[in-house]
Amino acid sequence: MTIAEAITDAIGIAMDKDDAVYLMGQDIGVFGGPMQSSKGLWERFGEQGRVIDSPISEAAMIGTGVGAAMAGARPIVDLMFAEFLALTMTPLALEGASVAYRTNGKVTVPLVVRAKYGVGPHRGHAEGCIGMLMSFPGIKVIAPTTPQDAHSLMLAAIEDANPVVFLEHMSLLHGGRGEVDPGARVDIGEARIERPGTDLTVVASGLMVKRATRAAQVLAKEGIDVEVIDVRTIVPLDVATLQSSAERTGAVLIVDEGWPVGGAASDVCAQLVRASGGRPSYSIDFLTPPPTPVPFATHLEAQFVPGVDAIAAQVRELIATPSSTDEEESSR
């Protein structure tokens, strides 16, 4: 299956199992969803009224989903693109994400929001707005990289009692295929070591996992052994796995295609520093795009998003730079 097929299959399984699960969004009916990401669901569930084509009002879609979830349904809202999340923050982040807390768990909001992001073959709509999502308590954020993770984590998201934003990278949706075990379970908040290594840890999600793995293969020929970790779930972050790897390798490079200020990379860094008591025993650096709008031209986009060569170069530089711990030891 491709990632798109895996997500659709998982949604179909959930809808077969539970009549409370339904899909709502723009162009998800006969059209098959943006980038054909809901293909086949209209034919299976449309006559039941459980695949609902929505008007172009993102706030209304999310608000409707929050209300339905509070009333006992399990809606999946396809928002098309993550850049539209900014239009939904009041119903999603300020209201929906806080309901369980405000009611002491008596009312929950089992809502999944699908959103495509990242540079892709169809140009535009690349913004992920991940940093914005991370700032609101109560929202889980998932970004799968493989068909198996997409399938397993979509099922986990639908089962979750509170809002989950399910990010689908546009360069990966119809990319490589992989075997999918429908019964395999992946827990939300569990990272995966994509490639084991001993010299440095690269932390990434989405397309950056693929590029970091390719960079690691290049660096292996130079005798540099890079461990690549796919976080899979950005919120909650599996800090324990990241910290354990960083302490073992002695350095961590956080690679992200979001903006550097207030984004996922800076927050991952902050969480690692806090987990180490403010004095990590390893070096930390990150590689992100510059703080500019995402360019549309292909050659500018290629310069904007961290590529394989840029990741490899940053790894070499970080390994060559002594950590603060090394400097302290040498000064004694």
Which of the residues 122, 125, 169, 299 is marked catalytic? 125
151 is catalytic: no
CA distances, 6 to each of 11, 82, 144, 310 (Å): 9, 20, 11, 31
Owner of token pair 């799968």: 144
Instruction: Give the H or E element holding residue 11.
Output: helix 3-17
- The side-by-side arrangement of strands in the sheet containing 226-230 is 192-195, 226-230, 200-204, 251-255, 283-287
Q: What are the structure tokens assigned to 129, written together? A: 């707005």
Cβ neighbors of 270 (< 8 A, separation 6 or more) are none
Three-state secondary-structure class, residue 124? coil
Three-state secondary-structure class, residue 57? coil
Cβ neighbors of 81 (< 8 A, separation 6 or more) are 34, 115, 116, 117, 125, 127
Residue 263 φ/ψ, nearest 5 degrees = -105, -170
How far is 295 from 150, CA to CA, in rounded Å? 28
Q: Residue 236, preceding bond cis, omega within 30 degrees?
A: yes
How far is 202 from 194, CA to CA, in rounded Å? 10
Q: Which positions are annotated as active-site residues?
A: 125
